[in-house]
A = this chain, B = another copy of it.
Amino acid sequence: MGKTITMGDIAKKLNVSTVTVSKALRDKEGVSEEIRTKIKEAANSMGYRYNGAAKSFKDGSTCNIGIIIAERYIESGTSYYWQLYKKVTDYLMHLDYFAVFEILKLDDEQKATIPKIIYEGKVDGIIILGQVNNDYYRLVKNLSVPIVFMDFYEKDTTQDFIVADNFYSMYLLTNYLIEMGHKDIGFIGNIKATSSIQDRFLGYIKALIENDIDINKCMKWYIKDRKDSGEYTSFELTDTLPTAFVCNCDDIGYELINKLERKNYNVPEDISIVGFDNINNLTDSGVGITTVEVDMKSMAQTAVDVLVKRINNVKIKYGIKQVTGKIVYKNSVKKI
C-alpha cells in the first residue's frame, strides 16, 4: 500500500497550510467556503483518511468509554444487560464518545486482572455493567480513570453507582398485592446473590410489616432460585402454597407459572404473581406478569452523564443514584 495521506500532503498539493486543511476538513470556521470545498475534494480524490489517534494524542483524550460486562451476564441470548449496553452506547455516541467493549472473563475477575482497555490506555473512563466480585471491584475502583458502576452497589460512599429503585418498586408492588386482598405472600429469589434481589426482597418485607402481615409465616414460602454465587438452580414448589408470590424477576415468574400449571394451579385464578423487569413474554395460557419496568434509558443516561462529569473534573457528589421504574399492570393478579 502507498504511504498514508496526511493533511500536510493535501496542503502541499493545494498550496495552503496544514492549519487551513485541518479547519476545512473538520468543519471549523476560519476558511473560505471556496477553499474548504477545494480541500474536501482533494481529500476525497487523494484517498485521505482522518487520523483519530493523532487527534487523541494531541489533545490527551481518547473520547472512548470502556464498557465492561462479566461474561456470565451475557451468555444467554436474552439478556437485560444487552439492552442496557445498547442504551449506554446510544447515549455515548450522542455525546460524541465511542464505546469500547470488554467482556470480563470469570478467570480475570477472580484473579482481578487489570482490564485490557485500561492497560492499553484505550479509554477515558469505564462503566461496569452488573455486579462483580469483591476483589475485582476493589481493583477497578482504584484505577486511574473515572468509573461508574451500574446495576449494583457496595457500601462505599466515594464511588458512583447507578441502580434501579429496587426497594421502593417492590414495596409498591407488594402493597398492590395486599390491596388486592393477599396476606399469604411468598418470595422467590436468593437474597444473598445480588444487591438488587436483596433490595427487592426488603421492599417486599417493608410492605408486609406495614400491613401487619406475619413475616415468619411468609418466610415459609421463600424459595431460592439460584445459588449465592448467582448461578441458577432449578427450584421446587413448597408443600403448601401462599395465595401470591413476589418473584425477583419476570423470568423466574414465568418459570413459576409453568411449574404451577403443571400441577394444575392456574394464574391468577388460584395463585397471583408479580415480577420485575417487564420482559414481554406471555404464557401460552395468555398470562402476562404484573411487573416493574426499569427505566433503562434513564439509567443509561444518568450513568454516562456522571461519568463524563468525572472525566471533566466537574465536582459532583459521589454515591448511589436510584432510577425510578414504573409498575406495569397485566393479568397475573386476582382480587381475593
Show the binding face of A for B, using Cβ within 8 Å: 1, 4, 47, 49-57, 60, 62-64, 74, 77-80, 82-83, 86, 89-90, 93, 98-103, 116-117, 119-122, 144-145, 258, 261, 279-280, 283-285, 313
> Of B52, B78, B83, which contacts A62 at CB under 8 A?
B52
**A contacts with B: majority SS:** mixed
Complex: how many Å from CA A49 to CA B143?
A: 9
A50 to B120, Cβ gap below 8 A?
yes
Docked pose: A116 CA to B117 CA in angstroms: 20
Question: Do residues A51 and B86 form an inter-chain contact, with CB atoms below 8 A?
Answer: no
Cβ–Cβ contact A60 & B4, under 8 A: yes
A101 CB contact (under 8 Å) in B53, B60, B101, B120: B101
Q: Are A53 and B103 in contact (CB-based, < 8 A)?
A: no
B74 adjacent to A77 (CB under 8 Å): no
For A63, list chain B residues within 8 Å (CB): 120
Kindly list 19 other residue pairs between chains A and B, CB separation below 8 angstroms, not including A49-B144, A51-B121, A284-B284. Answer: A47-B144, A51-B57, A51-B60, A52-B122, A53-B53, A53-B121, A56-B56, A57-B57, A77-B82, A89-B101, A89-B102, A89-B103, A90-B103, A93-B102, A93-B116, A98-B100, A98-B102, A98-B117, A101-B101
Query: Which B-chain residue is minimally distant from A279 (CB atoms)?
Result: B77
Minimal Cβ-Cβ distance residue in B for A61: B53
| Cβ contact within 8 Å between B90 and A83 | no
Q: A89-B103, A261-B284, A284-B258 are in contact. Are A121 and B74 (CB under 8 A)?
A: no
In the bound assembly, the distance between CA atoms of A80 and B93 in angstroms comes to 23
Query: Could you pull out 15 A-B pairs where Cβ atoms are within 8 angstroms?
Result: A49-B145, A52-B62, A52-B120, A53-B57, A53-B60, A63-B120, A64-B122, A77-B78, A77-B279, A79-B82, A98-B101, A98-B116, A98-B122, A100-B101, A283-B284
The CA of A149 and the CA of B117, in the complex, are separated in Å by 26
B56 near A53 with CB under 8 A, answer yes
B49 contacts A53, CB within 8 Å? no
In angstroms, Cα B55 to Cα A16, docked, is: 29
Q: Is the CB of A100 within 8 A of B100?
A: yes
Minimum distance in angstroms from A55 CB to a CB of chain B: 8
- Please give the distance in Å from A284's CB to the nearest CB on chain B: 5
CB closest residue in chain B, given A54? B57
